[in-house]
Amino acid sequence: MQIPTRDHVIVLHGIWMRGIAMLPLARRLRAAGFTVDTPDYPSVVGSWSDSASRLAEHWRGHAGRKVHVVGHSLGGMLALHVAAKHEDLPDGRIVCLGSPLKGSSAAGRMRGLPGGHWLMGQSAEILRAGLDPWRGQRAVGVVAGSTPIGLGSVLGVLKSPHDGTVSVDETRLEGITEHRVVSFTHSGLAFSGDVAEMTACFLRDGHFPDEAAP
């Protein structure tokens, strides 16, 4: 059900992706009553600090109303990193979809393969190391997948349950507000209508629905 709101949502893609990949999720969030944009950021080239600075500037550009951020995979890590570094950002909530907030074992394995560091570029270290525990004031919701189909399965380094790329344990960062596990693959989290509905609920109310998506 659409609930009119002045709240804005910034939707961030993951590594090797572009903002256009987030359009299905953006469309569903607009249908829930939010205004939405899907900016690009360089997930491989450039520097992590430059990407963080550009996101902070973009985030401030929507000041005057609540500004939420939804990030898939690396995008969720970027959102939390920026929120932790900048206290002057507009109020709002964050939802991370399949983000390896505690560090990615698959990324660590890939980094050690020939050409792996080049493939991950600026994101290699943050993906390997993960983030510090969340100490910020804004509410953070995390949705993790448990359908084990993806690159991580091929690399053979993921602890079950996992979504084929990120293990559920890797998404459980200390300090987050709420955590849910759903039966989707890593990429499926970004395209699921059920996950979009859960996300809209968290952004609007500060908690996920009482029943998890199937």
Residue 185 has what DSSP assignment?
-
The domain made up of 8-131+138-205 has a fold known as Rossmann fold (3.40.50)
Domain extents in the chain: 8-131+138-205
Query: What confidence score (pLDDT) does residue 158 get?
Result: 87
Tally the C-alpha atoms within 13 A of residue 85's C-alpha that lie toward its C-beta: 17
Query: What confidence score (pLDDT) does residue 212 get?
Result: 46
Helix then strand count (H, E) for the chain reads: 9, 6
Cα-based distances in Å from 2 to 38, 50, 200: 20, 36, 10
Query: What confidence score (pLDDT) does residue 117 get?
Result: 64
Residue 159 CA to residue 123 CA, distance in Å, equals 22
- 4 sits in the region (left: phi over 0; alpha: psi -120 to 50; else beta) called beta
Q: Which residues of the chain have pLDDT under 50?
A: 1, 212-214
Residue 44 CA to residue 107 CA, distance in Å, equals 13
Query: What confidence score (pLDDT) does residue 46 get?
Result: 79
Task: Identify the sign of the CA torsion 142, 146, 151, 156.
Answer: positive
Query: What confidence score (pLDDT) does residue 125 get?
Result: 86
Query: Residue 67 forms beta bridges with which residues?
Result: 8
Torsion of CA 72, 20, 212, 79, to 10 degrees: 30
pTM: 0.92
